[in-house]
Amino acid sequence: GSALGTARERDGVRRAERTRSHRAGSTRPMESSNGGAAAMAWGSALGITAVYVGSLYLWPEVPSEGRNHPRTVRKRFASLAGACAAACVPVMRVITASPVSEAVARAGVTPPASLVGALGIAPRPMAAATSTVASLGLAAALFLGPLTHLAIDGRLHRRFVDALRVDTALKLRDYCVAPLSEEFAFRACVAPTLLWSGSCTVASAVFLSPMCFGAAHLHHFRELRRRRGGAVGALAAIGAQFAYTAAFGSFATFAFLRTGHLCGPVAAHSFCNVMGLPDLWGAWGHRRKSVVVGAYVVGIAAFVAGLWPATDPRLHPGSAWDDLVAVGR
């Protein structure tokens, strides 16, 4: 009887030790190598890019219609919704990780409590408003030269009135769906996945993650080659597009991380799509060249001077900038 009681006591002790060990493990930070976590996070970023671009080609291409045909455009709206839903998975995995990542534990911060908070789409009107004002204001400053050019030529009012009249599938794509879906996938999903996993610093997120955004536009090469009749012209065009989209992506990522809400980057993206690429040659040869070129210089200076003050986290109630800086150290 005593031997049986002793065996039971030993079993009870072992069960208690296993329980304590399990509970301690659930609160202890992950001790896996940071390299492995970084590889997984960057792999997720590339996966989001591949799924986003791949969703555009789910539908059989009709040569007589092309990608700008309204029927093709509407089909792609549906597949993009699925791609954006899939892009949420890595974010959810990172913010609900148990145990928490080593970087988060070391920083002593808490990941967002909800997915909508991590994605910057929480229903917080003040956060959305301050993000929109700051991001859109900075984008307008950067485009002061093109805005001045259009105003002098009497085309500014018509440009925006026409854009606000969303009466075609192409306008809906260019000014609404593309800005919303691209900012959601490449800002709201890619950046938090990298940062909350401790896989990079905020500087790396701002300057390197937009490479995924730029790469997502490389699939236009085939169409550009067909339209321009050769590979050289298509390569030049796709290179310029990559550089422009990556540069905008850095600004949009910075604005998203500093203000903490996606509304600002989406509004800035839509504005930039309405404006298009700056007409530098037209500005240089303009009849009022000094005014137009001067507006370019003033606008760029205002953008640089206002970039940090306008996105100061203290002005934006949705910002988690300080926490993200701490995690990325």
List the catalytic residues.
182, 217
The H or E element containing residue 298 is: helix 289-310
Decide: residue 226, CB within 10 A, 0-12 exposed, 13-18 middle, 19+ buried: exposed
252 and 205 Cβ atoms separated by less than 8 Å: no
Q: How far is 44 from 89, CA to CA, in rounded Å?
A: 9
For residues 185 and 189, give the distance between their C-alpha atoms in angstroms, rounded to a whole number.
5
Q: DSSP secondary structure string, 2-27?
A: HHHHHHHHHHHHHHHHHHHHHHHHHH
In the Cβ-directed half-sphere of 189, how many Cα atoms lie within 13 Å?
28
DSSP class of 186: I
User: Reduced to 3 states, what is the DSSP secondary structure of residue 288?
Assistant: coil
Q: What does each C-alpha distance from 138 to 35, 76, 323 come to in angstroms?
A: 36, 31, 24
User: Residue 193 and residue 48: Cα distance in Å, rounded?
Assistant: 11
Residue 252 and residue 194: Cα distance in Å, rounded? 16
Cα torsion angle, 328, 92, 51, 37, sign: positive
